[in-house]
Amino acid sequence: MAADDFKDVIEQTFAKLERARARYVPRLSLREIGTITNVATGIAKVSGLPDAGFEELLAFPGGVFGIAFNVDETEIGVVLLGEHENLRAGDEVERTGRVMDVAVGDELLGRVVDPLGAALDGGRPPATRKRLPIERPAPSIIDRAPVTVPLQTGLKVIDALVPIGRGQRELILGDRQTGKSAIAIDAILNQRGQDVVCVYCAIGQRGSAVAKAVAVLRDGGAMDHTVVVVTEGNDAPGLAYIAPYAATSIAEHFMEAGRDVLIVYDDLTQHARAYRELSLLLRRPPGREAYPGDIFYIHSRLLERATHLRAERGGGSLTALPIIETQAQDISAYIPTNLISITDGQIYLSPSLFELGVLPAVDVGKSVSRVGGKAQRATYRAVTGDLKLAYAQFEELETFARFGARLDDDTRRIIEHGQRIRACLKQPESAPVPVLEQVAVLLALSEQLFDAVPLARMPAAERAVREAAADVASQVRARLEGDAGISAEDRRAVVALARDALVQFRASSNVELGSSATAGRSGG
Ligand SMILES: Nc1ncnc2c1ncn2[C@@H]1O[C@H](COP(=O)(O)OP(=O)(O)O)[C@@H](O)[C@H]1O
Ligand SMILES: [Mg+2]
Question: Could you please report the per-residue DSSP string of 14-60?
Answer: HHHHHHHHHH---------EEEEEEEETTEEEEES-TTPPTTEEEE-
Q: What is the pLDDT of residues 44-53, one digit of tens each?
A: 999 999 889 9
Q: What is the pLDDT of residues 452-507, one digit of tens each?
A: 999 999 999 999 999 999 999 999 999 998 888 899 999 999 999 999 999 999 88
Q: Which helix (H) or strand (E) holds 108?
A: none
- Residue 232 alpha carbon to ligand 1 centre in Å: 19
Predicted model pTM: 0.90
How far apart are alpha carbons 472 and 456 in whole angstroms? 27
How far apart are alpha carbons 404 and 473 in whole angstroms? 46
- Residue 333 alpha carbon to ligand 1 centre in Å: 23
Residue 522 has a pLDDT of 40
Nearest Cα neighbor of 72 from 34, 30, 100 is: 34
Q: b vs e for 56-81, b when ≥16 Cβ sit within 10 Å of the residue's Cβ?
A: bbbebeeebbbbbbbbeeebbbbbbb
pLDDT value at 515 more than 70:
no
Q: What is the pLDDT of residues 292-317, one digit of tens each?
A: 999 999 999 999 999 999 999 999 99
Question: Of 131, 136, 273, 370, which is the active-site residue?
Answer: 370
Residue 519 has a pLDDT of 42
Q: What is the pLDDT of residues 408-467, one digit of tens each?
A: 888 899 999 999 999 999 999 999 999 999 999 999 999 999 999 999 999 999 999 999
Percentage of residues of the chain with pLDDT beyond 70: 96
Q: Mean pLDDT throughout 131-156?
A: 96
To test the pocket of ligand 1, the residue of 173, 181, 356 to mutate (highest count of ligand atoms within 8 Å of its CB) is 181
19 CB within 6 A, ligand 1? no
Atom of ligand 1 nearest to the CA of 359: 1
pLDDT value at 206 more than 90:
yes
Residue 5 has a pLDDT of 84
How far apart are alpha carbons 59 and 94 in whole angstroms? 5
Atom of ligand 1 nearest to the CA of 354: 12
Q: Are 56 and 96 within 8 A, CB to CB?
A: yes
Residue 154, CB-side half-sphere exposure with 13 Å CA sphere: 20
How far apart are alpha carbons 443 and 270 in whole angstroms? 41
Query: Helices 474-481 and 435-446 meet at what angle, rounded to 10?
Result: 90
Q: How confident is the model at residue 372 (pLDDT cuts 50, 70, 90)?
A: confident
Residue 491 has a pLDDT of 94
- State which amino acid sits at residue 465: V
436 CB within 6 A, ligand 1? no
Q: How confident is the model at residue 197 (pLDDT cuts 50, 70, 90)?
A: very high
Sorted by where each starts, the structural domains of the chain and their CATH numbers stand as 33-98 (2.40.30.20), 102-374 (3.40.50.300), 380-511 (1.20.150.20)
Active-site residue 381, yes or no?
no
Atom of ligand 1 nearest to the CA of 427: 1
